[in-house]
Structure 1
Amino acid sequence: MTRTALAILSRPSLDAPAHDGAIEPFALVDPTSPQLSALDLAATRGDGVFETISVGDGRPQALEPHLRRFARSAATLDLPAPDVDAWREAILSVVATLDPAPEAAIKTVLSRGVEGDGRPTGWVYGWIVGDHSRVRTEGVRVVVLDRGYRHDVERTSPWLLAGAKTLSYAVNRAVLREAARRGADDVIFVSSDGYVLEGPTSTVVYRRGGALFTPGTGLGILEGTTQGSLFTFAEERGMSTGYELLTPAELAEADDIWLVSSVRHAAPVREYEGRPMRVDAEFTAAMNDYLRTRVD
């Protein structure tokens, strides 16, 4: 059974030399054998970017939005621009290598490579995911944690790389440990000046009446590919959608809240800062059915 697959790109960017003079854009390799140099800046500095892409019934979902965000993150870090055609081909090959499954996932990684070498490192890893049905139906308990910088950090301090999906995920893991210490499952970040941002691995989406919202743009948060799909879902059902700058107290007054991400999909928030929240099981199920079968 093939539950994991790995492709190493020979030339992740057309702006940099290829590895070992390889002609093919990528090669499928054994995912259980060593592939990464211990000197690669992905390992020593977390100097790189990544994307995680959901695969439903053998089809990578929101592939083009993910590739565009991948390229934007690379540009933010001054990495060589990804050869999008090569990455797309590698992704599709990895997907095709995996055993058929209702749900799988793909991770694309581009690092600066070995320091001083001048050749970036790129790989695509695919795996069949576990069962997320429980969190999609029962929901999550969340706490609000200060991210430590203002909501306008993307404009005032671009060197902090806010809004880029980087490999530096130590903070994102640390906040989940803090959530567990507080008896919660997940986190919603708030800016130091008091505005809702995003989760450590998710986008915040909420409903008020017949409209679906997410925190405003330009906040140093990731543009949500899954959130974009859910806005399409809502609009197809006659709902309005929008972006808002709001406080945690205002979010608490929403009719429903979800944390949405590529692999977990839409996880309803059932408890917010210790306060029970309504979970609309029927609407959440419709959202997740849409995400599992989307063709965007």
Structure 2
Amino acid sequence: MPQHVLAIVDRPSREAPGTDAAPWRFVDPGSPQLTALDLGATRGDGIFESLSVGHGRAQALDHHLRRFARSAAMLDLPAPDLDIWRAVILATIAELDHPGEAFVKIVMTRGIEYGDRPTGWAYGSVSPDFTKERTQGVAVVMLDRGYRHDVEQTSPWLLAGAKTLSYAINRAVGREAARRGADDVVFVSSDGIVLEGPTSTVVYRRGNELLTPGTGLGILDGTTQANVFRWAEQQGLATSFELTTPDLLRSADAAWLVSSVRLAAPINAIDDEPFPVDAAFTAAMNEWLAALDD
């Protein structure tokens, strides 16, 4: 049973010049595949999605594909052929053939500099063990993202809300969190509105209501957050979007960073201040997320 699978997508978009080759092909994940002239490598000029796989099934597949297409449109990339991307995701999962937790990451770049065809690939792998993060939780620091909460409306060219390969800042804030003795980060806008984590969505509980920062903030449309809300509604909880301040978050009964592969990691400290963890609630949430088959 392979631990890693790589498929090169030779026909990632119907809008780009075609090829007579098959839509995709499996290749050796340990062999070089990407040219040094690819704009994904030299400029971070591309998009990606990471899908959780549970028991051989892709989770939130349609939501991820919609977000993939939206990110492409925001970057003026050729529209991805979602039928081909769906098929290659399912083929990658079948090739990986792992009974437990896994993930598939799909990537589309603008292609070779001065070329006319995007580059695409899908990488499947067995997931890391996130038991510690899911049970003990993560300590977070709040860091200024450097722009206002309405940047999506005022400055759409900054691509707030697109899932791009330009991850230098997200990696940098992770190192800053480590320097401060924390595990992760919650971004706050320059005018004091809670946004998201570098690779996650913020969800918090207040009484019998589960909430997440409001829409139109230049943050990702969270796939896992949407599923968490589905689960919460099944438990009889209300769900809502809210313009969230740091004080509102600190006053919550519990809070989580939720993402496709790590699932729900409870926040156990904010800026060095201990924060309550609801272990039973978290365990039930993660059990449901891990068992999802759509």
User: Normalising to structure 1: TM-score of the pair?
Assistant: 0.98
Q: CA deviation at 1:129?
A: 1.1
Separation in structure 1 between the aligned mates of residue 36 and residue 270 of structure 2, nearest angstrom: 42
Structure 2 match to 1:286: 284
Measured in 1, the distance between the counterparts of 2:222 and 2:98 equals 27
Q: Deviations over 1:213-232 (max 9, x none)?
A: 00000000000000000000
How big is the shift at 1:99?
3.6
Q: Please tell me whether the aligned partners of residues 269 and 279 of structure 1 are also in contact (alpha carbons under 8 angstroms).
A: yes
Letter paired with 2:50: T
Residue 277 of structure 1, CA deviation: 1.0
Q: Which residue does the alignment assign to 1:61?
A: 59
Residues of 1 paired with 2:254 and 2:100: CA distance? 27
Structure-1 residue corresponding to 2:187: 189
> Displaced runs of 4+ in structure 1, greater than 3 A?
none
Shift of the alpha carbon at 1:100? Answer: 2.0
Amino acid of the structure 1 residue aligned with 2:253: D
1:79-114 per-position Cα deviation (integer Å, ceiling 9, x unaligned): 000000000110111101114231001000000000
Question: Residue 163 in 1 paired to residue 165 in 2?
Answer: no
Partner of 1:90: 88
Q: Deviations over 1:194-221 (max 9, x none)?
A: 0000000000000000010000000000
Which amino acid counterpart does residue 66 of structure 2 have in structure 1? R
Choose the corresponding residue for 1:125, options 123, 127, 137: 123
Pick from 236, 239, 246 the counterpart of residue 238 of structure 1: 236
Shift of 1:17: 1.0
- Counterpart of 1:8? 8
Per the alignment, residue 33 of structure 1 pairs with: 31
Q: Is the 8 A contact 2:5 2:124 kept in 1?
A: yes
Preserved contact between residue 56 and residue 94 of structure 2 (Cα < 8 Å): yes
Among 171, 174, 178, the residue aligned to 1:173: 171
Question: 2:248, 2:241 → 1: CA distance?
Answer: 14
8 A contact 1:40–1:113 mirrored in 2 = yes
Question: Which deviates further from its counterpart, 189-198 or 286-295?
Answer: 286-295
User: Number of matched residues?
Assistant: 294
TM-score w.r.t. length of structure 2: 0.99
Q: Give SS of 1:183's match.
A: coil
Question: What is the CA–CA distance in structure 1 between the aligned matches of 2:227 and 2:218, rounded to whole Å?
Answer: 20
Structure 1 residue 18: deviation in Å?
2.4
Contact 1:101 1:128 in 2 (8 A): no
Asked whether the 8 Å contact 1:53–1:106 carries over to 2, the reply is yes
In 2: Cα distance, 1:271 partner to 1:123 partner: 38
Is residue 17 from structure 1 mapped to residue 17 from structure 2 by the alignment? Answer: yes
Offset at 1:273?
Answer: 1.1
Deviation at 1:237, TM superposition (A): 1.0
The answer on whether the counterparts of 1:51 and 1:165 sit within 8 Å (CA) in structure 2 is: yes
Letter in 2 for 1:14: R
Distance in 2 (CA, whole Å) between partners of 1:130 and 1:149 is 33
For the Cα contact (< 8 Å) 2:54–2:293, is it kept in 1?
no
Kept in 2: contact 1:142–1:185 (CA 8 A)? yes
**What RMSD, in angstroms, separates the aligned Cα atoms of the two structures?**
0.7
Partner of 2:132: 134
Q: Say whether the 8 Å CA contact 2:56–2:98 is kept in structure 1.
A: yes
